[in-house]
Amino acid sequence: MVYLTRKAEFAASHYYHNPNFTAEENQRIFGKCNNPNGHGHNYTLEVTVKGEINPQSGFVVDLKELKEVLNREVLDAMDHRFLNKEVPEFFAKVPTTENLAIVAWQRLAPKLKAAQLHRVRVYETPDLFADFYGEA
């Protein structure tokens, strides 16, 4: 089994808010991230796939294909977007780093053919990242 990681970057804005919480609860739990006008990050996405090396091509996965899936399913949808308002998963879900990793996984996993998704890592800043391995 060989693991291959592809990196991508996107810039997006978001804010943290749960309509089921009171204004005070939102403020207490989410702090500055609750500002309704949002704020932004340069996110880095790392997608790790695993598989056996194809004896003919020498590839685990065709990087060009992986890049296309990544661009179409994640980057086109999230780059230069306000996540809460433009990405349907976040209409009802708080766009935390954890949830971004989960949503990216859910968008990518069904579209990858040759290789199997191993891990999605999302960096919100160089000092904060979340990993999702598809675990329940």
Q: Which residue, 30 or 59, is less far from other proteins as judged by CB?
A: 30
Annotation marks residue 41 as catalytic: no
Pull the structure tokens for residue 80: 């230069």
**Helix, strand or coil, per DSSP, at residue 68:** helix
Smallest distance from other proteins to CB 24, Å: 15
Q: Which of 103, 101, 12, 112 is nearest to 69 (CA)?
A: 112
Q: Which residue, 25 or 68, is less far from other proteins as judged by CB?
A: 25
Annotation marks residue 68 as catalytic: no
Tokens 């998963």, residue?
Answer: 89
Annotation marks residue 33 as catalytic: yes
Smallest distance from other proteins to CB 127, Å: 4
Pull the structure tokens for residue 117: 């998704």
Query: Which residue of the set 9, 25, 52, 80 is catalytic?
Result: 80
